[in-house]
Amino acid sequence: MSDKKPLDVLKNCGGYYESPRDQAGKILGPLVAYAGKYKTADGEEKQWVGPEYFNFAKAEQNQKIRNFFAGILVRSVCERFSKIPTVVIGMPMGGILLSGDVGRLLRCRTIFAEKKIIALADPAKGLKEMSELVIDRHEIYPGDRVAIIEDVCNNFSTTEKAVKLITNAGANFLCILCAVNRSETERWQGWQGYSVISAIFKPSEQYRQDDLAVADLIARGKIAWKPKQQWNVLKASMQK
């Protein structure tokens, strides 16, 4: 498998979706909703949407494939840093399994963060469940060199929360490791910021829901709001 391209491996696992387009390049849908959100002019939060989705859950189930992705990340870490991490932290939930393989290859401690529910959802009031990122099961020690592990990176909202936990513990944040980086940067917080090391670096289009390129598709219901749960529908549209 070492001669395979990571994106091809993910595709072979059935973990990649791209919306069909017409001859002019217009998106035909279905679109997918992303976890990242933006605020409208009236302060309402809405999800970004786009034509592409990386479902790493399809790949992480296979030990051999996880090891393949972990190997790519570990080689990059060893090439870029004179001192490797003393601990890797898997982000919930997508980074947890991958962090175990990365930690094993780096021969360092492996821990994971969790999402702690602080307020239940209240559909009657239109309120979503609220949670905070915590590290309850394990510990971060002062002086630790820490790498964060995620499956897919885009808006780095989880990363920002994790870094606060790391620095508050007196540890040193080293870098972000992910199977897929679909953002437009390989440096979080600017070109002088932290390295985002990925097996697949593929910046992906994303749109506001009122963008003329996608508004008609959303109005016609051609969108998967929960892509993983609607994966069979998305894959069937690609096969057509």
pLDDT digits (tens, 9 = 90+) for 190-228: 766 899 999 999 999 999 999 999 999 999 999 999 999
* Assessment of whether the complete model's pTM goes beyond 0.75: yes
- The confidence band for 124, taking pLDDT boundaries of 50, 70 and 90, is low
C-alpha distances (whole Å) from 216 to each of 26, 42, 220, 225 are 12, 21, 6, 16
What pLDDT digit, counting tens, does each position of 11-56 carry?
Answer: 999 999 999 999 999 999 999 999 888 999 988 888 999 999 999 9
Report the candidate in 199, 194, 158 with the shortest Cα–Cα distance to residue 85. 194
Say yes or no to pLDDT of 232 above 60. Answer: yes
pLDDT at position 119, please?
77
What pLDDT digit, counting tens, does each position of 160-182 carry?
Answer: 899 999 999 999 999 999 999 99
| 82 neighbors 171 (Cβ within 8 angstroms) | no
- The confidence band for 118, taking pLDDT boundaries of 50, 70 and 90, is confident
Instruction: Give the Cα separation of 166 and 134 in Å (integer).
Output: 11
In the chain, what are the domain boundaries? 6-56+205-239, 63-201
The helix/strand/coil state of 32 is strand
Report the candidate in 158, 152, 138, 134 with the shortest Cα–Cα distance to residue 88. 138
Q: Which CATH number fits domain 63-201: 3.40.50.2020, 1.10.10.10, 3.30.420.40, 3.10.620.30?
A: 3.40.50.2020
- The confidence band for 120, taking pLDDT boundaries of 50, 70 and 90, is confident
pLDDT at position 37, please?
85
Instruction: Report the amino acid identity of residue 127.
Output: L
Residue range 3-16: mean pLDDT, rounded: 94
